[in-house]
Chains A and B, each alone.
Chain A
């Protein structure tokens, strides 16, 4: 029961984000004098909205969602010429923008389980935030480690986040089975996380987060199956996808461990987006007869 209300709670922001994403996209297409219906119909704006809403805290205020979604759609996509022409992942661009501009609201995690009504009230500012909020688990761990504590003294686990990640893993496997995405990026992404986390925590288990927590906390599974696999901004050659995914995974662990931000999926993806043309050029498959 708690799971179901939690599930609904997480959805409150999603519906709002999707609506505003479609509205912004339609508005901008109108300004650009482009046909509106086919572009909305392909669902890409709705997808950007949902991915962004999933990435930001469940209880972020409504204007955070609107600002983030608008930035993602306008600066992440439409200014480059619309779908298919954007070098960066629009949702992650929106997320990075929000994280840098509004760090407080973006790192507030709603305790562990939040219901739909609670989420609704907080998002639309009907109820004071304090009743629910706390730092996210990754943020918390980082702060505590910085204060000189060691892993065994901390609670590094979060059941809610583990559930979320398990859900994304299942969803991702479904996409794989349906052949919507190819296996290269998720596999390389997760191996990048596992290998880097292993190398870090191998000698020093007390100061570095263990592998399983890297996998089950934050946006790992969401990133592996839903974010990094965005075909437009990802590598397009089979070999390139492996390199691309691996380095995103590696960068995430490095940012989580040494960076200033609690989670690094957005920055890792954006950084690797920049390298896509280079990787694609040097990983062309061998053409028959050449």
Chain B
């Protein structure tokens, strides 16, 4: 049997705090809201430059059923709709709406849904889309489209594992807003009709665990402690750990009647449905050895600098990383906006990277791999760009968690090699498909030419025969 906690690695929070707090960041002077979200088409702005907007007002929505709406996170004036740098590893620019604050933070009066227990599933799902709710754990998958698929859901899993060491925003949320989290779970229960809910929480978050216990009076909700180990928060591994169901690599959990939601998404759902507030702020952990680690509740679109300044950074050169220390992305500048998926900002003193040595196949990586791959073999094939062989070694199952990178004594960036090999494989497949299509077209053309030719000869033969018959008939007549 596969033990979900056999592999993976134990990393304790590298920058622990004595008390997990949520500090309210002051209103930013300006917010930058990207129109492109994690997946799907770019949203279309429904405001113009110069328009006055109120906090919570819809400013962009999308015809794409896949995406969620975007709301103004402060009240003020739209000053620009143009390309700005967004926090993405490519460092590319993307279209954003920039709003300058009037300092009043006037809210728009949203028409809520009223008592959610009297709402239909469809109404609630649509309302979540209008409220701009996406997965806040880091992937940013639109919640409504996940819920739409959950037609036959029996088990709901609330991921409160805090996906990576160092991040504390979910911990803080549960400690401070346990009641809201439980109520949010009840909204989800109403939408999905699930019969059981598991809130999975790591055993190093005792305070959060007890806060949740205190507010949980629903017998369908159970709060389960799991060992603190990195990658136990990965969706399929979590399902395996809790329910002992192994979801095949090419299937979705939802097809097995299991729905996973991050705990901060649940809180956002509560805010939207019960408090009539769209998603305009989130809790962000600022941590690292260059700052005083803490959590900040901040309006979306505020710059990284806005809250990093609050965390008292030192004056040395910094290396900034969005997301966790494991799967996050390095960002070049602090002047990028906080997005819905920005759960953590690491600000570390810039350090030289250790030099990379040869792989000696020591096998530390495959001991650490949470999905039981052989990174040492994959590396060999990824490096030589032999994607076919790499796929044979189940490259597609790699979750790019970087456990192998961390344990590698030769400091090889294995996960980067794997994500490169995956991209290369996709490209090869595309090229192969193109070749296949071209060949099919060519074959069809050949077939068509031959067919036309035979049809033509057949027709000629038939005509000839007809003529002959006619001629014979007339001759017969003549003879008669």
Residue of B nearest to A229 (CB): B362
Query: Which chain B residues border A288 with CB–CB below 8 Å?
Result: 2, 236-237, 240, 246, 249, 370-372, 397
Residue-wise interface mask of A (233-244) relative to B, using a CB-CB cutoff of 8 A (1 in contact, 0 not): 010111001000
| A237 CA / B369 CA spacing, docked (Å) | 12
Contact stretch, chosen from B91-99, B188-196, B289-297, B351-359: B351-359
Task: Indicate if the CB atoms of B377 and A286 lie closer than 8 Å.
Answer: no
* Interface presence of B287 (CB below 8 A): no
Smallest CB–CB gap between A82 and chain B, Å? 7
Q: Does A231 lie within 8 Å of B372, measured CB to CB?
A: no
* A contact residues around B362 at 8 Å (CB): 231
Q: Which residues of A contact B237 (CB under 8 A)?
A: 288
Q: Which of B357, B363, B393, B397 contacts A231 (CB 8 A)?
A: B363
Of the residues A38, A241, A287, contact of B372 by C-beta under 8 Å: A287
Question: Whole-angstrom distance from the CB of A30 to the nearest CB of chain B?
Answer: 18
Taking CB atoms and an 8 Å cut-off, the chain A residues in 32-75 that contact chain B are 38, 42, 44
Q: Bits for A247-290, please: 1 = Cβ < 8 Å to B, else 0.
A: 00000000000000000000000000000000010001111111
A231 to B240, CA, bound (A): 32
State the CA gap A131–B359 with chains docked (Å). 47
Q: Is A23 an interface residue (CB 8 A)?
A: no
Tell me whether A285 and B366 are in contact (CB under 8 A). yes
The interface bits of chain B over 141-162 (1 if a CB of A lies within 8 angstroms of the residue's CB, else 0) are: 0000000000000000000000
B361 interfacial contact with A, CB 8 Å: yes
Residue pair A236, B236 in contact (C-beta under 8 Å): no
List residues of chain A with CB within 8 A of the CB of B374. 236-237, 280, 284-285
- The CB with the most chain B CB atoms within 10 A, among A42, A44, A241, A290, is that of A290
Q: Which of B236, B357, B372 contacts A42 (CB 8 A)?
A: B357
Given A236-B366, A280-B377, answer yes or no on A286-B361 (Cβ-Cβ < 8 Å).
no
A279 → chain B, closest Cβ, in Å? 12
Contact between A289 and B247, CB atoms less than 8 A apart: yes
Q: Contact at A284–B360, with CB atoms within 8 Å?
A: no
Task: Give the residues in chain A near B240, CB-CB below 8 Å.
Answer: 288
A113 within 8 A of B: no
> What are the residues of chain B within 8 A of A203 when measuring CB–CB?
none
B371 touches which of A44, A82, A287 (Cβ 8 Å): A287
Asked if residues A290 and B358 are in contact (CB atoms below 8 Å), the reply is no
B: number of interface residues (CB 8 Å): 28
B330: Cβ under 8 A from any A Cβ: no
- Chain A residues whose CB sits within 8 angstroms of the CB of B363 once the complex forms: 182, 231, 236, 238, 241
0 or 1 for each of B329-368: is its CB under 8 Å from A? (1 = yes): 0000000000000000000000000010111111100110
CA of A238 to CA of B374, assembled, Å: 10
Cβ-defined partner of A286 (8 Å) among B355, B372, B376: B372
- Report chain B residues within 8 Å CB of A135: none
Q: CB of A83 within 8 A of chain B?
A: yes
A84 engages B358 (CB within 8 Å): yes
When the two chains form their complex, are residues A289 and B357 in contact, meaning their CB atoms are under 8 A apart? no
A156: Cβ under 8 A from any B Cβ: no
A287 contact from B357, B360, B394, Cβ within 8 A: B394
* Chain A residues with CB below 8 A from B247, complex form: 289
B2 touches A286 (CB 8 A): yes
By the criterion CB–CB under 8 Å, are B361 and A285 in contact? no
Whole-angstrom distance between the Cβ of A86 and the nearest chain B Cβ:
10
Does A232 belong to the interface (CB within 8 Å)? yes
* Neighbouring B residues of A236 by C-beta, 8 Å: 361, 363, 366, 374, 376-377
B373 adjacent to chain A (CB < 8 Å):
yes
Pick the contact of A83: B360, B366, B367, B393 (CB < 8 A): B360
28 contacts between A and B (CB under 8 A): A38-B357, A82-B358, A83-B358, A84-B359, A182-B367, A231-B363, A232-B360, A234-B361, A236-B361, A236-B363, A236-B374, A237-B374, A238-B366, A280-B377, A284-B393, A285-B366, A285-B374, A286-B2, A286-B372, A287-B372, A287-B397, A288-B236, A288-B237, A288-B249, A288-B372, A289-B236, A289-B249, A290-B249
The interface of chain B, by Cβ under 8 A from chain A, is 2, 236-237, 240, 246-249, 355, 357-363, 366-367, 370-374, 376-377, 393-394, 397
Q: Which 7 A-B pairs have the closest CB atoms?
A: A84-B358, A289-B249, A288-B371, A287-B394, A231-B362, A236-B361, A285-B372
Interface residues in chain A, defined as those with a beta carbon under 8 Å from any beta carbon in chain B: 38, 42, 44, 82-85, 182, 231-232, 234, 236-238, 241, 280, 284-290
